[in-house]
């Protein structure tokens, strides 16, 4: 059996996919929280000329990289159900999209 034919554990792929979806969801959460709460908006203001956008995106990126590193280590030599990972990822992505959509946040 050549290396190309050896079934490779899909854990690292699952970690990459799920962590990217979690990052998009985290961006949705930070955006919504910052929109709905003045103290959180103030906290997110990492770089005043650009406002809360800098904190919202920085936190999402940090969450993404941290989750990716942790999951990649945990799932390094194992395989996960890609179907479950994909469903979870697309639900998280859809929620992230919804939470960044201004007319939805304006409902609250």
Partner 1 sequence: MQLTLREFLTAMHGMLFGGFFLMAIFGLVVELVRSSHTAEPATLTPRGRSLEAWFLIVMAALGWLAVFTGTYIVYPWYRAKPPAGTLDLTAYPRSLLLAHPNTAGWHSLGMEWKEHIAFFAPIVITMLAYVLIRQRIALRQDPKLRRSVLAFALLALVACGIAATFGAMINKAAPVAGGPTITLMRSSQ
Residues in touch with partner 1 (CB under 8 A): 3-4, 6-8, 10, 12-13, 16-17, 19-20, 23-24, 27-28, 31, 47, 49-51, 53-54, 56-57, 60-61, 64, 82-83, 86, 89-90, 93, 96-97, 100-103
Question: Closest approach of Cβ 50 to partner 1, in Å?
Answer: 5
> Are residues 30 and 95 in contact, defined by beta-carbon separation less than 8 angstroms?
no
Question: Closest approach of Cβ 107 to partner 1, in Å?
Answer: 14
């Amino acid at each position: 059996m050549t290396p190309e034919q050896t079934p490779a554990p899909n854990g690292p792929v699952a970690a990459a996919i799920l962590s990217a979806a979690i990052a998009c969801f985290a961006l949705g959460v930070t955006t919504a929280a910052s929109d709905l709460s003045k103290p959180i908006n103030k906290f997110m203001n990492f770089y005043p000329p650009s406002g809360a956008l800098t904190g919202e995106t920085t936190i999402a990126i940090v969450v993404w990289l941290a989750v990716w590193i942790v999951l990649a280590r945990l799932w390094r030599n194992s395989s996960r159900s890609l179907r479950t990972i994909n469903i979870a990822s697309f639900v998280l992505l859809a929620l992230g999209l919804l939470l960044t959509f201004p007319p939805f946040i304006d409902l609250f």
